Amino acid sequence: MMKRHRDAQDAPYGWRQQAGPIELLLFSLCVYLTTTPFLFVLTRQNPNLPALINVATMQQETQSMLLVYAVRGIVALIGAVYVARRLRQLKANARQLLPLMPFLVWAALSALWSDDFGVTARSVTTLAVLWAGAYFFAVRLEGTSAARAVVGGGALVAVTCLGYVVADPAYAIHQLTDATQFVHAGAWRGVYQHKNFLGHVAGFFAVAIFWADRTTIPWPPLKWGLIALLLVLVVKSTSASAVPIILITGALVWILVIADPKQRVKALLVLAPAVVALYWGTTAILTALGRDMTFTGRTEIWQIAIDSILTRPLQGYGFVSISYGSFSYSLMHQAGVFDPHSAYLDLALGTGLIGLALFLLILPFAWYAARRLYLMGGGERQAALMLVSITIGWLVSGLTESSSRPLTAMGGLGLFAMAALISLPRHRERAAASGGHNPFAEMRARATQG
């Protein structure tokens, strides 16, 4: 009797009803924690001193990341608490994670030939925990609640960063006394390690929240006020790449997810010559922004990275390895930095071209999931737009930042959003089917009309 009553209460989403205030706050905290806030505090580092990496040995300081790993584990733990009694549903829907498994397995295998077994093993474990947390998030929350949790995560970013600037500006704003980032003096970094991290993360959330309707944020002034706060953070970060990322992400979400097939073709026909014009006008644009053609030295870094990739092209040097062979030593000597400033080169260095290909193969599944959810409408559409905005923003960010690393601000958030997006559709299809709606039939009908 009690079981039948519970089943009746749970319809039509099985047991995935709208989250209550406390649960929604906890899942919003999950989303926020994926951005790895307060890294300096958690690692007990001072920005005035070289952080995390001993440049003499290229090794991480002993136990310096222990609290960071613990906080990352909280993301999965919160979700696990809410789904622990539903092991049958978890197992039945675990196939949703299959597109992620080849890359995860290959990254784990790369520990066998990594320059630093411990670092690679911990990074792979962190990635697995992050994706598990995303799966729990997707399994537990129905569409509107998932969208609201993303909004809540963005709100926490805005509030904590602004509060930290007021409470502790020596940490929240780059200073001339910074050991390695003094060139960014005056730029805001909020609760993050670098100004670009703040600019990119705030930009991702601004685009995601832009798509929110009144079912997600009932009071429009709250929506636009939150977007305004996030854009203030983008501007104060002085991140030159954050503004283009916002514009490109918004355009790509519309083209890839919202537009019907006919509109998509028209948009691509317009976009192709625009990209060519942008390429030829890059010099003028960068000059106007006070930048040079090297993207603040990135092209030189990328060339060094490509040379190292060609030395071990297939398997790489180990996922998020410290040195990537001689790459980090050469880079530290020539440019004073130790990462390739490109997520895709970072993946190729760590897992080789095989790993990079396995990662890129995940993306069509993420797009297909977003499109299916969007066509379902309602809360599912909101969840799709929120998560795909963060995912696309993160992928664009990866062109100029090493944002594939699971413990970076953009990497943690983007990897979480992509896994959550891929994990959502099967539950939504079953719920929609119980209400007599077939999203696949609608998708085929729209494609035929287009």
DSSP letters along 360-424, please? HTHHHHHHHHHHHHHHH-HHHHHHHHHHHHHHHHHHHHTTTS-TTSTTSHHHHHHHHHHHHHHHS
Residue 186 lies in a domain: no
**Would you say residue 421 lies in a domain?**
yes
Residue 45 lies inside a defined structural domain of this protein? yes
**β-pair type (53-54, 59-60):** antiparallel
Q: Which two tokens stand for residue 204?
A: 């991702």
Domain count for the chain: 1
Share of the chain above pLDDT 90, in %: 47
**What pLDDT was estimated at residue 276?**
66
Burial class (CB in 10 A: 0-12, 13-18, 19+), 93: middle
pLDDT tens digits, one per residue of 402-435: 899 998 999 999 999 999 999 986 545 544 444 4
What's the confidence (pLDDT) of residue 9?
Answer: 36
Helices (H), 289-377: 298-311, 327-335, 343-360, 362-376
Backbone angles phi and psi of 248, in degrees to 5: -65, -40
Does residue 180 form part of some domain? no
Spatial distance between the Cα atoms of 340 and 297, rounded to a whole number of angstroms: 11
Q: With 0-12 CB in 10 A as exposed, 13-18 as middle and 19+ as buried, what is 167?
A: exposed
**What is the pLDDT at residue 336?**
63
Q: Does residue 196 fall inside a structural domain?
A: no
Query: What's the pTM?
Result: 0.87
Q: What is the pLDDT of residue 266?
A: 79
Which backbone phi and psi does 53 adopt, to 5 degrees? Answer: -115, 130
Would you say residue 336 lies in a domain?
A: yes
Determine the pLDDT at residue 438.
44
Which residues lie across from 188 on neighbouring strands?
173
Tokens of 187: 């730029």
DSSP letter for each residue of 242-263: HHHHHHHHHHHHIIIIIS-HHH
Around 260, how many Cα atoms within 13 Å sit in the side-chain half-sphere? Answer: 10
Residue at 218 is within a domain? no
Contact 120, 318 (CB under 8 A): yes
Q: Provide the residue range defining the domain that includes 25.
A: 2-151+256-449
The answer to whether residue 214 sits within a structural domain is no
Query: Which residues sit opposite 53 in a β-bridge?
Result: 60
Per-residue confidence in pLDDT tens, the chain, 450 aa:
444 333 333 334 444 567 788 989 999 999 999 999 998 888 777 776 655 555 555 555 544 677 788 888 888 888 888 776 666 667 767 788 899 999 999 999 999 999 888 889 999 999 999 999 999 998 888 899 999 999 999 999 999 999 999 999 988 988 876 656 666 778 999 999 889 999 999 999 999 999 999 999 999 999 999 999 999 999 999 998 899 999 999 999 999 999 888 887 777 777 777 766 665 555 555 556 555 545 555 778 888 888 888 889 999 999 998 788 777 777 776 766 677 889 999 999 999 999 999 999 999 999 999 999 999 888 899 999 999 999 999 999 999 888 999 989 999 999 999 999 999 865 455 444 444 344 444 444 554 454
